[in-house]
Structure 1
C-alpha cells in the first residue's frame, strides 16, 4: 500500500462514511470521550479492533503494542508508554472493562522461540519479549510433543493472554477497583483466519467461543 492510497482512503472516508459518525464525533468533541472499554491488542496489522468488533468512535480506548503484552506495575518514574495508557484509561477515563486480546499467528509469541542474536538494532524487541517468557515456560511444561510447532505457538498465544491479565493485577488501582466491583478484566483470543473470538473462562481455565456466551460482559 502506498501513501497515495491512504490519502485516497481519507478522501473516500470524508465523502462516503464520515456523515455516519459526524453527529457522534461532534458530541464527543463537546463532551469529551467516555469509553467504557480499554482494549489491549497487538500491533499486528491483521488485527483490526474497530472492524472485528463493529465499534464506532468513542467506544473503546485502544492500546496496541508488540504481542499485546502488559508490563508489570513499576513506579520507577521512567518512561512507560503502555502503563501510561492503562493508567489514563482506568484513573482518568474510568473504563469499566479491560480486554486483553491476543490473536492467532502472533509474531511476538513465535519470536519467543527464535534467537535474535546480539544485534543492537533489536535490543528493544528482545527486552520487550521478556514479558512473554513466562507463557513460553508454561507452554513447554504443558505440551509433550515438542515437534508440533504450530500447536506450541497457538498454546503460547493463549497462555500469554492469561499471563498479561495477571500482570494487570499488579497495578494497585486496578486490584482495588476489581475488589470494589468497579472494573472487570477479560481475556480474548482472536482467530485471524476466521474472525471468531474465544474468551478465557477463569473458573475452568480454558478458552471458549465468545459468541455462545452472552454473559461474558
Structure 2
C-alpha cells in the first residue's frame, strides 16, 4: 500500500506536516467519527489506524505517512470512522491548507486509495481463512520493523471482515497450530512467510 509520503516525497510530506497542528491519540481512541462534519484531514506521523463503518466493517488500514479524512475535506460529513490501533501522532490540516500544500498530488492519492478500496472489496471472494491472514499481514506490514503484534481483538477482527467471531477464533487456532501465529493470549505473527502462504500470497 502506497502512502502519501512515498507518493509525494519527503520534502512535500514535511511541508504537509508543518502546515498542521500536532495531536496525540491513545490506542483505541476515535480520531474521526462517521457522520461528523468534515472540513479537515489528518496527516499520520506515527502509529496505525483502521478506517471502519458503523458496524465495524473494515474499509482500510492506514499508517505513518498516510492521510485520513481526506475525502471529507470539502465540508461533507465523514463517511467512516478512524480508530487508533496504536498510540498515534497526527497533524490536523484544514481543507484549504492541505490543498495549498499538496495540490495535484492529493487527487492522485485519492485515486490510489479508491483503487485500494475496490481491491479490499474484491477480497470477499476469498475463503475466510485467507481473508483473515491477509488482514493480519496488512496490520503488521504497517507497523515498525520487527513489530509483529496485532493489536486487535478477535471480535474486532470478526467485525472487520464481516465474519462470525467463532469462525475467526477457529482460524486463529489453526494458524497457531500451523506455526504462523504464536501461542498465548495476544495475537503475534510468528512466521510472516507462512502466514502469507495461507493468505494466498506465496
Specify the structure having the higher radius of gyration (Cα).
1
Q: TM-score of the superposition, structure 2-length normalised?
A: 0.30
Q: TM-score of the superposition, structure 1-length normalised?
A: 0.29
